Amino acid sequence: MNQIIRCKNCDAIIMKTPFDQYPEYELSPEGSFEDFRMIEKDDFQDFLILHHGHQLENLKIIEDSFVSERAYSEPVKTSFFKATNGKDKFVVKKFREKIDEPLKYQLISGDYSLQCTTIEIQEKEISKQLINEVKPPLSQTQIAAFLKLYRHVAEDIDPKALERVSEESPHPLEIYYKMDDLRLMYLLRNCRNIFKGPQYSAMEEFIYRHKDNGVLLLKATYKIQFTEIAKPEKKRVSVASLMGKEKMVGK
């Protein structure tokens, strides 16, 4: 388990990973085997020397607090998470400016929260699966009617009232949710007006097959909302400087 250590005197932090006594091997951007470089990982030792005699404390990462504007797979990016010493809450910026640099961690003043900007149905994926799976095949008009109905079902939905699907989306600001039972019943009831007989049965099966982890999941997109605190800590980077220009951060 990763552990964060904060120096109370300097307001500096370091991530202590179980591997930091070992050198870290990283592939060069060119990717050839001969170009493997070794990065010395005695950062933690350096931190202890630098903060000798200072008061250190452990911070615990607050689960599910991780946010970033870039995909998880993106190596060069800035992300944020929250940590606590049991009493106070801290906002940590995690970043790397170049692909061959180790990750850096920094405490910042201010706070952030996620704000849902849109919630939508996965139209393209649904159409594709309807064409592939439903027998007897649906007409274009029926597919369009189903999409229209499902869009209506998902309208004005509050993601807070929905169950989040635990599978990780490739992007931290895109989260998938299951529709609730009430909306599921409404969807099925209204499908009776569009589909009859064996087609209705096939649609009913389709809905049950896709509602929990398939194309019927609702996709919510979030944005990171940064908030300034009244009296920012002098030593920390102000959250205002983080807005917009990601590249300016940490310089």
Q: CA–CA separation, 234 vs 43, rounded Å? A: 25
Q: Which residue lies nearer to Zn ion by CB, 52 or 98?
A: 52
Contact 5, 57 (CB under 8 A): yes
CB of 83 to Zn ion, least distance (A): 17
Q: Which residue lies nearer to Zn ion by CB, 9 or 113?
A: 9
Q: Which residue lies nearer to Zn ion by CB, 5 or 149?
A: 5
* Residue 10 near Zn ion by CB under 5 A: yes
CB of 12 to Zn ion, least distance (A): 6
Q: Which residues contact 131 (CB under 8 A, 6 or more apart)?
A: 137, 138, 143
* Residue 55 near Zn ion by CB under 5 A: no
CB of 10 to Zn ion, least distance (A): 3
CB of 106 to Zn ion, least distance (A): 14
Q: Which residue lies nearer to Zn ion by CB, 47 or 80?
A: 47
Q: 119: alpha, beta or left, given left = phi > 0 and alpha = psi -120 to 50?
A: beta
Contact 151, 127 (CB under 8 A): no
* Residue 173 near Zn ion by CB under 5 A: no
Q: Which residue lies nearer to Zn ion by CB, 54 or 223?
A: 54
- The token pair at 82 is 């929250």
What binding mask, one character per residue, do residues 25-54 give for Zn ion by CB under 5 A, x or -? --------------------------x--x
List alpha helices for the chain, DSSP H.
43-50, 123-133, 140-154, 181-191, 197-210
Select from 9-17, 18-26, 35-43, 199-207 the region that touches Zn ion (CB under 5 A).
9-17
- The token pair at 108 is 């910042």
Could you give the angle at the alpha carbon of 28 between the alpha carbons of 23 and 30, nearest 5°? 165
* Residue 7 near Zn ion by CB under 5 A: yes
Given the rule CB under 5 A, which residues bind Zn ion? 7, 9-10, 51, 54
